[in-house]
Structure 1
Amino acid sequence: MQRKTEVDVVALVTSPGHNYWFHSTDPSVGVGPHPTSYPESVDVDAGLGIRGDRFYGKVSRLASAVSFFAAEAVEAVEDELGLARGAIDPRLARRNVVVRGIDLNALRHNDFTLDCGDGPVAFTAAGETAPCAWMDDRLAPGARAALRGRGGLRALPTTSGVLRVGPAQLETAADVQPERAGHRVRRGRLP
């Protein structure tokens, strides 16, 4: 049975190249020259990803062509690290689609659609998007550890369409519980 859930696309993030290649205590080391954009809408192509993004059409990355991140995960990290709400910009995680109201862990290895008003875009979810060492440099010290088990979701688009910032509708057969958005899931318990 398909379930429909009202959600929000908080932000969209694209970059034509990968900027963070290795961890360094010096934030200027290993940072690439590619600009990061925060568009109001993006074009998604089936089997390829988001047009203009660094993972678009990359054969080695097709299962993870589009990445999703829960805004609630950032709020949980802020709480865990004793930071004020709003201290961390969720866009800095450089996940393509920042959402609110989606239990991303429940979507792993499931099909889902996201309709931002221009028709549904279908995805097949792969696994977790593990937080990298750069999270400590770009978000806050301790963010990488705090994001384990809630670092996001990788997915392959199976239809083409448009995603927009704003209200959206998620449709999936997965048991998505919006109140669990941003909760940590231990690796052994990931679907």
Structure 2
Amino acid sequence: MRPELGVELAVEIVGLLVSPVHAYEGRPGDGPRPDPDGRHPASVQVRAGLGLVGDRYFARPAHRHAAVTLFAVESLDAVARELALPAVPDPLLTRRNILLRGADVDALAAGRDRAGAVFALDSGDGPVRFRAHRAANPCRWMDVVLAPGAFRALRGRGGVRCEPLDNGVLRPGPARLRVLEPG
């Protein structure tokens, strides 16, 4: 569902990823490097302007506006249909931090002539505000870890890079998403 200003959406956080390493670097043909930590944390600590505690992009100045990535798992449903895959790929393989079901998160991203939306996500510990910035474009690694053709199939629906505006906690499970400022 496309998030609209002031409308609260019931969503689900289906997964979280906080990883100290960048597993998809180098040549895709060589395969990803092992990811020793953080595949399925029970919660993540969000820090305003810094990102997710323990993540590889936490407190990195170059990633201030892209410290947290949000992804709609429905995008993988569409990829599986388009590529005639026998099953929907594991959304954690996209390496996005917050995997959400129930909202078109790509609609939150900044465009050429507009800023990204400010939205709040609340999984029960209070709302955490984020400013959406640019799209989280897929890379060629998607052809290796998801399925051949996934890189191209995910264009325009690879998620959004966000800047956290509040401190807080997010957990997997039912959540609420509300757009506070339009993009």
TM-score when normalising by structure 1: 0.85
2:22 to 10, 15, 18: 18
1:47 paired with 2:49, answer yes
Sequence identity of aligned pairs in percent?
Answer: 46
Root-mean-square deviation (CA, aligned residues, Å) is 1.6
1:171 to 169, 175, 178: 178
Aligned counterparts of 1:65 and 1:24: Cα–Cα separation in 2: 23
1:117 paired with 2:119, answer no
- Residues 56-95 of structure 1 deviation map (CA, whole Å, 9 limit, x = unaligned): 0000001010001111001100001101333x10011110
Runs of 4+ in 1 over 3 A off after TM superposition: 31-34
Tell me, yes or no, if the aligned pair for 2:69 and 2:97 is still in contact at 8 Å. yes
Give 1:63's aligned residue: 65
Unpaired runs of 5+ residues, structure 1, are 176-190
Deviation at 1:25, TM superposition (A): 2.3
- Residues 2-23 of structure 1 deviation map (CA, whole Å, 9 limit, x = unaligned): 2211100000011102122233
1:140 paired with 2:147, answer yes
What secondary structure sits across from 1:144 in the alignment? helix
What secondary structure sits across from 2:85 in the alignment? coil
1:107 paired with 2:108, answer yes
- Residues 29-56 of structure 1 deviation map (CA, whole Å, 9 limit, x = unaligned): xx44542421121110001000000000
What secondary structure sits across from 1:63 in the alignment? coil
- Residues 136-180 of structure 1 deviation map (CA, whole Å, 9 limit, x = unaligned): 1111111101100000110000000000000000011467xxxxx
Unpaired runs of 5+ residues, structure 2, are 110-115
Give 1:93's aligned residue: 94
Aligned counterparts of 1:173 and 1:158: Cα–Cα separation in 2: 12
Tell me, yes or no, if the aligned pair for 1:23 and 1:133 is still in contact at 8 Å. no
Tell me, yes or no, if the aligned pair for 2:106 and 2:158 is still in contact at 8 Å. no
Task: Give the partner amino acid of 1:63.
Answer: H
Aligned counterparts of 1:95 and 1:20: Cα–Cα separation in 2: 12
Deviation at 1:121, TM superposition (A): 0.4
Tell me, yes or no, if the aligned pair for 1:46 and 1:158 is still in contact at 8 Å. yes
Aligned counterparts of 2:157 and 2:86: Cα–Cα separation in 1: 19
2:159 to 152, 159, 173: 152
Aligned counterparts of 1:53 and 1:134: Cα–Cα separation in 2: 20
Tell me, yes or no, if the aligned pair for 1:13 and 1:36 is still in contact at 8 Å. no
What secondary structure sits across from 2:65 in the alignment? helix
- Residues 94-126 of structure 1 deviation map (CA, whole Å, 9 limit, x = unaligned): 100000011112211010000000000000000
